[in-house]
Chains A and B, each alone.
Chain A
Amino acid sequence: MSERTLKVDYLARVEGEGAMFVKIKDDKVQDIKLKIFEPPRFFEAFLRGRDFREAPDITARICGICPIAYLLGASYAMEDACGVTVTGQLRELRRLVYCGEWIESHILHMAMLHAPDFLGYQDAIEMAKDHPDVVKNALRLKKIGNDIMIILGGREIHPINLCVGGFYKVPQKRELTVMLDELKWGRDAMLGLIKLITTFPMPDFTQDYEFIALQHPNEYAIIEGKLVSNKGLDIPLSGYDAALEESHVEHSTSLHTHVKGRGTAHVGPLARYSLNFHKLTPLCQKVAREAGLGETCSNPFQSILVRGIEVLYAFEESIRIIEQYEPPEKSRVEVKPKAGTGYGCTEAPRGICYHRYTIDDKGIITDAKIVSPTAVNQPTIEKDLWDFVAPNVKMDDEKLQWHCEQAIRNYDPCISCSCHFLKLTVDRS
């Protein structure tokens, strides 16, 4: 009888603290856990008693990598509660700043955290010695995303210029148009990066997921829409709590999310792409087809490619928004507090990020619920690991461990977010 355990006590190249544990007995998988030991921070609890206008800045501190998802998710929820809709150029600026976050976060993950797996490097800096141009171009691409965040948000991490109702200050047209040349370079550079990714060795591994993403009639949904899935979910944001439930498991300080009556769900780039392919621009659709992708994608290892398509989209969308931009008269819509409950959900780089708040007539928060994308993906990642390890148990420990880490990094899991989570342990006991 042979038993072995693979353990990774501190997963690298993910945002936050997590671990992986795999137990194999007589070449059969006994147990797999994705452990999240990020310390709990209790945002939902201390939001109670705070002013409704404070929620965007406070919840941004859940995650330094995707603060826009929190700034905007909270703002939309508060506007929903108070009966206010933000439209026109202010709405376009919200999409633009979100494109900045998608570019920055996706490129960070693709080039610096995920690509080294495919090419066999410990990290991007080691990779830079053999592929200097790839890393230099990636840094330049990432910087463009951050520059959008800086112009519209004041700074790239925890931007200060977004608020309930819109912005503190809106940019002049020329402040945006100066970025056009660099954005066009970025769009063209993405074609090269996507072509390079198509040469990466991709494990043949497809899964039957329930993809959940926002869907919007007129656009590739980022900031607004209804929640849909490939297995029949079709609900307004206010239907979230009735359709999805959270459970608390011992090995995680992040709550696990399931679709009621069905099971695990998958959110993020693969879900958005597979549900909203036809809302991508003609160029994105063409590049995706040339890269060998279909209209849906169920191989999580190809997520790096799909992120590339989404970055290309974000560049095109940024160019479109800037070219049509005319500064609005007012930087924000006035929002007066009104007792009630509001819902907000946006597409963070890693998937849907859900906010629900109840406020009183003075605007004081009495209840808050926030669900990060990694909380939804965590049980799905564990299922991927089961399905990947089972047919590959004969792989030696080192190779199996690296592939398992890669399977986790497919999701770009943001552990800081999910606790508001990674470490690998393979036990072949």
Chain B
Amino acid sequence: MTTTKVRPKLAVYKFASCDGCQLSLLDCEDELLAVAGEVEIANFPEASRAIQEGPYDVALVEGSITTPHDAERIQQVRKDAKFVVTIGACATAGGIQALRNFKDVKEFISLVYAKPAYISTLTTSTAIADHITVDFELRGCPVNKYQLLELISALLAGRKPNIPTHSVCVECKRRGTVCVMVAHGTMCLGPVTQAGCGAICPSYTRGCYGCFGPKEIPNTGSLSSWLKKEGQDNGQLLRAFRGFNANAEPFRKESERHE
């Protein structure tokens, strides 16, 4: 007797973003065909013309909410999907485009576009969770593809994804990277940034620039005072925290302390 396997239906959505996080799925060269065998890729316009109607079992959402239209569109995504998982710094914190939240967006429009009347945009760039209930958030600018595969595997198995929330420092210690801050005085956001990238930057002698956003309970104030002792000024600290996760609350508050 043969049984037909019912595969969960996957949808991938894009809001304001660079495409990099959904590209992570296509970058799983060794695993892509296996993934496609386990889940039904039902709505993924970047990869396929064939679009199936919802509902979907899992929606992966990339990008932040920056336009009135997108603020409405995300509501439908929630209605159509059992699990909504946001992927990447834009979807989980508003992304680099959230730098508008600290400035006058009208001035921004006139700087880039000759006819501002054609542009419809919100004054802020915000995380998906600010608009709908999100079931799981995957951090990173971009997300780590192995974390993405772990997430998909966990959802298939009906278990919680094993995504640590400790700091990048733990990953440096594990891979045996000499601390760039202690050894070279290099500014590093590793102590306050969530792990997941594999601590790449320090392994290239560069300080972490916080692309995975704040770790669980980060002590940003303490890190700032250490960095000041290493010679960083307020401008540098402001810019350090106001990066790809500028609108994540702990980083936003810390950057405001250095205005």
Contact = CB atoms under 8 A, between A and B. Distances in A.
Interface of A: 10-17, 37-46, 48, 50-51, 54, 57-58, 61-65, 67, 108, 112-113, 116, 122-126, 128, 135-136, 139-140, 142-143, 146, 154-158, 160-161, 168-169, 247-250, 253, 255, 405, 414, 416
B15 interface: yes
Interface in B63-96: 63, 66-67, 69-70, 95-96
Interface in B30-82: 30, 32-33, 36, 41, 45-51, 63, 66-67, 69-70
Interface string B1-33: 000000000000011111111011011011011
Given A41-B97, A122-B50, A160-B206, A46 B32 contact: no
Given A39-B66, A156-B27, A44 B112 contact: yes
A160 B201 contact: yes
B251 interface: no
6 nearest interchain CB pairs?
A64-B20, A123-B48, A45-B108, A122-B50, A46-B99, A39-B16
A58 B17 contact: no
B29 A45 contact: no
B241 interface: no
A169 B205 CA distance: 7
Given A15-B19, A50-B239, A57-B209, A158 B142 contact: yes
B206 A416 contact: no
A39 B21 contact: no
Given A12-B47, A161-B206, 16 more contacts: A12-B48, A39-B63, A39-B67, A40-B112, A40-B113, A40-B119, A41-B97, A43-B112, A44-B112, A46-B103, A57-B209, A154-B200, A158-B142, A168-B205, A169-B206, A253-B119
A49 B247 CA distance: 18
A116 to B, nearest CB: 8
Interface of B: 14-21, 23-24, 26-27, 29-30, 32-33, 36, 41, 45-51, 63, 66-67, 69-70, 95-97, 99-100, 103, 105, 107-109, 111-115, 118-119, 121, 141-142, 197, 200-201, 203-206, 209, 211, 236, 239, 244
B49 A16 contact: no
A122 B45 CA distance: 10
Contacts of B17: 64, 416
Contacts of A249: 118
A269 to B, nearest CB: 20
Nearest to A122: B50
